[in-house]
Structures are given as structure tokens and as C-alpha cells.
């Protein structure tokens, strides 16, 4: 019976439940907290809190929070909690599709919606459930005039037959459509990887992102350096005597040219590169 239904199953597997609480008291407290972020209806302005503070001491930590090794994970929730007003991030759908984070927070007392890849889970790739979760949240924010901040570190869509047979293209398009359709202010910050089609759907300039920023650690490209080198220079690698040496050279060349945000900025896809 537990496998068929129940709160935990629907919060973790099906995505039907957004929250699970121990008892009625906790549920009431959290519902009050949730409603404090939302306007009464779609014509009202978003609520503003006068209790405003942010963690000035931890701002410097943002300069070193992204690891030098592009394959090492880090916790995107840390970045969110440093950027927004203190103790205001309320995560929605916490147990479902944990490779993407969605939730409400406050910036200078004003409600915003946050969508963020989570490098700690599945390297932050987009799969079917993450696409559905992200798209639904974006459309909700748009319905109630809540501005959206997107934090991006996405190496691509999750490969595999289960994703292809399940319609990853169809479900991934929901995210694309949600951002194209949204009329609220949409700001994207690329913290590290922004690869391929997943970069496109995550509120890129190509789908009408309003302000697109990048940290110096951002990598904006079609794919990672190794995969790109193996495809682009396939013939040369087959003919080379020392394949590994040539591959390493081409990887370094690709890294130098594309694994930084400056080429994208030159072409107008990034508005500014910030610390």
C-alpha cells in the first residue's frame, strides 16, 4: 500500500505532493509561510517584507564556492542562501527531481522565484522530471507576476533510452515554452556549465532572457571539451600516431577558446561577466 500511494511516494516519486509534514501543526505553519510570499491574486503586487537583512560576511565566499575542477560538485543551495535575504529561501518540491531546485525567496524584502540546477545531484543534468518541475514553477511565477532568478550549472540533458522513450524532447520543450511565454522579469546567472540544448532552455538570451550574467568560471559551449574534441577531430585522431597527445592538445585548445564566458559575451549572449 505504501508503494501505491502516501505522502512520501507522491513527494519523491510522482511529484504530486509539494510538501510532506509530520502533523497538522507543522502543515499550518508552513502554509502560512508559503502564503506570505504570494499575492492574494494575480492582480495584486507581490508582498514586501520590512524585515530585511542579508549575509554581508559571506559574500566573499561566492568567489571561491565553485570548484576549479569542473567535475567536482558543490551545493547550489549555499549560493542561493548567500544571495537572498537571510533565511528566506523556501524550497518547493524538495524531494522530487532534486537535480533542479525551485522555490521562493526575498531580495531586499521583495518576493522572487528561484530556479537552479543542483550540481550535487546527477551533476545538475535536466531529465524529464526536472523539466516538468521547472516549467510548472516558471508558469506559476508568471501567473502571479513574481520575478524569476535562474542559477545555471547544467551539462546537458540526461542521456539514455529511458529518457528518450519517456519523451525527454517533449517534456524538455515545456521548460523552453515556459520561459519564452513568461512576461515577468527573468534574470539568469551562469555559475559554471551551460552546455548545448540545456543551455538554451534555461532562460538563455535566445528565449528572451531579460538579463543574462555569468561568473568568470562559466563555460558556455555546445558540449564539454573532451566530447567536442573527439567528434570535431575524429579523422585526425584516427590518423595520429600518438592519439592521446593530440587529443590532449585539442582538449586544451577547446578549453582555451570556449570554456569561458568571454566568447558568448562578445556575441551578445551574456550581458555582463561579474565576480
Strands 100-107 and 110-117: antiparallel
What confidence tens digit (pLDDT) does each residue in 55-101 have?
Answer: 888 899 999 999 988 889 999 999 999 999 999 999 999 999 999 99
pLDDT for position 124: 95
* Assigned C-alpha cell, 54: 542579508
Q: What pLDDT is recorded for position 127?
A: 96
- pLDDT value, residue 138: 98
Q: Shortest CA distance to 194 belongs to which of 98, 258, 272?
A: 258
pLDDT at 98: 97
Neighbour tally for 45: CB within 10 Å: 10
* pLDDT at residue 102, rounded to an integer: 98
Name the phi and psi angles at 93, rounded to 5: 60, 45
The predicted structure's pLDDT at residue 189: 97
Residues of the chain under the 70 pLDDT cut? none
Tell me, what's the pLDDT at 19? 95
Amino acid at each position: 500500500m505504501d508503494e501505491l500511494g502516501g505522502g512520501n511516494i507522491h513527494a519523491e516519486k510522482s511529484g504530486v505532493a509539494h510538501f510532506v509534514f509530520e502533523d497538522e501543526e507543522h502543515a499550518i505553519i508552513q502554509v502560512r509561510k508559503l502564503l506570505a510570499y504570494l499575492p492574494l491574486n494575480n492582480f495584486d503586487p507581490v508582498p514586501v517584507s520590512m524585515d530585511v537583512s542579508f549575509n554581508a560576511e559571506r559574500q566573499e565566499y561566492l568567489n571561491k564556492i565553485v570548484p576549479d575542477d569542473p567535475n567536482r560538485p558543490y551545493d547550489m543551495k549555499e549560493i542561493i542562501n548567500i544571495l537572498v535575504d537571510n533565511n528566506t529561501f523556501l524550497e518547493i518540491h524538495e524531494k522530487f527531481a532534486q537535480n533542479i531546485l525551485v522555490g521562493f525567496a526575498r531580495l531586499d524584502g521583495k518576493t522572487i522565484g528561484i530556479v537552479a540546477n543542483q550540481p550535487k545531484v546527477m551533476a545538475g543534468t535536466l531529465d524529464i522530471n526536472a523539466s516538468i518541475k521547472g516549467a510548472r514553477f516558471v508558469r506559476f511565477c508568471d501567473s502571479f507576476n513574481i520575478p524569476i532568478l535562474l542559477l545555471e550549472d547544467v551539462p546537458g540533458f540526461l542521456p539514455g533510452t529511458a529518457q528518450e522513450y519517456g519523451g525527454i524532447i517533449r517534456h524538455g520543450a515545456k521548460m523552453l515554452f515556459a520561459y519564452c511565454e513568461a512576461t515577468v522579469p527573468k534574470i539568469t546567472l551562469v555559475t559554471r556549465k551551460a552546455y548545448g540544448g540545456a543551455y538554451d532552455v534555461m532562460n538563455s538570451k535566445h528565449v528572451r532572457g531579460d538579463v543574462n550574467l555569468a561568473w568568470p568560471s562559466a563555460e558556455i559551449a555546445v558540449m564539454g571539451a573532451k566530447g567536442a574534441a573527439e567528434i570535431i577531430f575524429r579523422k585526425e585522431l584516427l590518423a595520429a600516431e600518438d592519439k592521446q597527445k593530440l587529443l590532449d592538445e585539442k582538449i586544451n585548445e577547446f578549453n582555451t577558446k570556449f570554456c569561458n564566458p568571454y566568447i558568448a559575451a562578445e556575441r551578445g549572449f551574456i550581458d555582463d561577466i561579474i565576480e
